[in-house]
Amino acid sequence: MLKKTLIAKTDAEADKSQIYSGKGWRATYITPRLIRFEAGTFTDLPSVAVWFRRFESGNMKTEEKGSVITIETDEAVFTVKSLRPYSVYFKDSKRTEIFAKQKNLKGTCRTLDMTNGSAKLGEGFITEKGAYLFDDSDSLLIDENGRFIKREDGGKDFYLFAYGKNYRETINAFYNISSRVPMIPRFALGVWWSRYHEYTQQEYLDLMLRFKDEGIPLTVATVDMDWHWVKIKEKFDMKYNGWTGYSWNTDLFPDYKAFLRELHDMNLSVTLNLHPADGFREYEDMYEDMAKAVGIDPSSKKPVEFSCSDDDFWNAYFDIGHKPYERDGVDFWWIDWQQGKKSDAQGLDPLLALNHYHFLDNAENGKLPLILSRYSGAGSHRYPLGFSGDTFISWKSLDFQPYFTANAANAAYTWWSHDIGGHMFGTRDDELYIRWLQLGVFSPIMRLHSSNMLALGKEPWKYSAEVCRAAKEWLRLRHRLIPYIYTMDHRTHNDGVALCEPMYYSYPENESAYNVPNQFMFGSELMVCPITKPNSKKILMGSTKAWIPEGRWTDIFTLKSYTGEKMLELFRDTETMPVLAKEGAIIPMSADEGNSSANPESFEIWAFSGNGEFVLKEDDGSVDFKNHTASTKFEISCDNGKVSFTVNAAEGDTAVIPQKRNYKIRVRDLTVDGKEVVFKIKDAATNQTHTVTAENAKRITGESKHERAIRIFSRWQGFSLKKEICCRLLGADGDIMQKLNKMPLPHDVRAAITEELESE
């Protein structure tokens, strides 16, 4: 029997008051806009995707006429024809949507392995008009003993979603029946180092010290497969491949326990790579104990085969194969399953079983659990983080990743981790490296990774001095952003809102929001428009198509402001990319020195003019975090030149945060006497409220339109007709924009000048 901690807590049997039945079918009320419909055979066991069905019953009535079944709630009328859901009528909008005719906005996929650009995505829960039929008929069930079992043949199991264009409610409804997105530990939100390379113990430790000396704050140290024995024939004279392994390679790591201790002493969390397919062979350190645990005579030297159907194997796999290493200092595991979807348990994908059991097992130590693994279908949001696999190093790969990452929200999957910079093949391209780092900073996880080719290392100092300097700044920024991202981590868990979300979630009624697939919201305050194509050779700037929604949006780096609604092409040099803050945005960042990911003692807060608030969330990092969370509200208000910023007294379990803190608050787009508005609050008691104000604040003023246009002309490479066009465009008479449209300019020059004229 599986050990208790490998049996998930579910509540899948609906209350009798929720269930309505007829001849060969039954319907279960979940919400007025979500019902379950079964036909043929019924089950009350949880499925892989759906773990919870017991909810408060609401008004629902059913009617059966011939082959047509009508199911009505307070907000919708569902029609079933010949035991298959057909349509839904929305009472509020008085419209009918046919499930089979919905345009699905797609979700995500298992992996991006070996891709050089786009990949085929599966369906998500989001359709453009908001009616979605989720067919759960073929998924496995989970019995009371925690085992995956096959359903009875012939049964149909559907979930009918009818939330219209309130896409967040659709996803939240799925979370309610499936489970909430788990919290991600703070350390995972910083910068990871990973590389497929045969490091020695000292080489790896020296590398971590080099990062520290370079002022690059890492939080996760990943050791790829060479931590264990790989060259089996040479070492043991045995004909086994070396992908699977569980015994430390003592030739490379002579004292692995000291190695793990030293990494922890550097404030680094540690993960090791696993390829479990070949089980435990006779040369493994724990072979004898593993063999006895599953009933094999160790003297037979028979391999302990990887088994999805054997409870004794799973218990021993964790307690003998992994738990000792966790006690030594391995924090979590990178599950690198690449061996297909078949196992010795009928219909069970080994990847699903590994993700499920590893995540449950990792919670045994009382800390927030974590794994790194590939996506295994609906319900995979329970097992973060996602490992997207080995992509090519190319602009095509980079260009696909923003869309891929944000669009996964449609599949309720919110925590993808990519090989930032790409994994293999391709060509060396410094510009591509920087653009990928920029995207990584504003991605769910910032994990540098590459293949074992010597020339493909992602260390910043292996690039030109200019690129190295920029790379360091981006990596430091990611670390500083941990307080903001961790607050969004709470938001994802509690409210079901992804950190990276397509624009149409916030603006579902605006067609333009569907036409910028690479643009996304990064938490509640920021809109990211990544540059994913090479710089223009005309002006040496990269560009991206961006949609500016209503309101004022300010670039947090250049401080250019844009007032929407409008579609623009945004241009930036290699050192920056467009990240726009909404009016009244507040972005809390750590100002602590070093690489600690703990709740900070000092903050630097970037704020933007307007009226806004932000509630910072911090906790103790335990599985019981809900009872140990502190909330601190920040507020900004602007009125007739007076700007006020308030740090409210912390609420909740304030024992998890320092008693006193230092704050540096920068109101980035306001000045007083020509200088940025900066407030400093030193030794601020966290149980008290602190307010600071400034008078005569003004919005930052930039160059004139003439000066902006001249700056773009100055970047224009080449001089043919340049002088003549410049004089005609910037002459004293007439509107620049009107004249611009009549000029024979290259597209990039025209578009860059247009952006300058449209910004404030």
Closest by CA to 674, choosing from 640, 648, 700, is 700
Closest by CA to 750, choosing from 718, 724, 712, 719, is 712
**CB under 8 Å to 94, separation ≥6 — which residues?**
none
- In this prediction, residue 144 has a pLDDT band, given cuts at 50, 70 and 90, of very high
* Residue 60 clears pLDDT 90, i.e. is over it: yes
Rounded-to-integer distance, Cα 386 and Cα 113, Å: 13
Write the single-letter amino acid at 357: Y
Mean pLDDT throughout 731-736?
A: 62
Residue 38 and residue 164 in one domain: yes
Structural domain boundaries enclosing 76: 4-178
Average pLDDT along the chain:
95
What are φ and ψ of residue 588, in 5° steps? -80, 135
- In this prediction, residue 708 has a pLDDT band, given cuts at 50, 70 and 90, of confident
* Domain end call among 345, 372, 399: 372
Residue 61 and residue 161 in one domain: yes
Q: What confidence tens digit (pLDDT) does each residue in 167-220 have?
A: 999 999 999 999 999 999 999 999 999 999 999 999 999 999 999 999 999 999
Q: What confidence tens digit (pLDDT) does each residue in 694-704 have?
A: 999 999 987 88
Residue 99 and residue 230 in one domain: no
Query: Lowest-pLDDT range, 8-12, 265-269, 699-703?
Result: 699-703
* Residue 632 clears pLDDT 60, i.e. is over it: yes
Mean pLDDT throughout 519-524?
A: 98
CATH number at residue 331: 3.20.20.80
Rounded-to-integer distance, Cα 475 and Cα 477, Å: 5
pLDDT for the residue numbered 154? 84
Residue 154 and residue 236 in one domain: no
For residue 486 the two structure tokens come to 């961790």
Residue 199 and residue 314 in one domain: yes
* Structural domain includes residue 436: no
* Domain end call among 343, 372, 401: 372
For residue 208 the two structure tokens come to 């971590």
* Domain end call among 153, 178, 203: 178
- In this prediction, residue 720 has a pLDDT band, given cuts at 50, 70 and 90, of low
Residue 274 and residue 318 in one domain: yes
* Structural domain includes residue 575: no
Rounded-to-integer distance, Cα 509 and Cα 128, Å: 10
Contact 52, 176 (CB under 8 A): yes
Q: DSSP string spanning 240-280?
A: --SSS--SB-TTT-TTHHHHHHHHHHTT-EEEEEE-GGG-B
Specify the number of domains making up the chain.
Answer: 4
- In this prediction, residue 452 has a pLDDT band, given cuts at 50, 70 and 90, of confident
First-to-last C-alpha distance (Å) of the chain: 66
pTM of the model: 0.97
Residue 30 and residue 85 in one domain: yes
Rounded-to-integer distance, Cα 667 and Cα 665, Å: 6
Contact 312, 319 (CB under 8 A): no
Contact 34, 162 (CB under 8 A): yes
Q: What confidence tens digit (pLDDT) does each residue in 552-598 have?
A: 999 999 999 999 999 999 999 999 999 999 999 999 999 999 999 99
* Structural domain includes residue 451: no
Mean pLDDT throughout 49-71?
A: 97
Q: DSSP string spanning 27-96?
A: EEEEETTEEEEEESS---S-BSS--B-------EEEEEETTEEEEEESSEEEEEETTEEEEEEETTTTEE
* Structural domain includes residue 462: no
pLDDT for the residue numbered 731? 63
* Structural domain includes residue 242: yes
Residue 140 and residue 17 in one domain: yes
Residue 42 and residue 112 in one domain: yes
Residue 345 and residue 206 in one domain: yes
Pairing of the two strands 642-647 and 76-81: unpaired
Angle 323-325-328 from CA coordinates, rounded to 5°? 115
Helices (H) and strands (E) in the chain, counts: 17, 36
* Structural domain includes residue 66: yes
CATH number at residue 607: 2.60.40.1180
For residue 285 the two structure tokens come to 């350190």
Residue 221 and residue 108 in one domain: no
Rounded-to-integer distance, Cα 681 and Cα 658, Å: 15
pLDDT for the residue numbered 732? 54
Residue 674 and residue 714 in one domain: no
* Structural domain includes residue 91: yes
For residue 301 the two structure tokens come to 């030297």
* Structural domain includes residue 733: yes
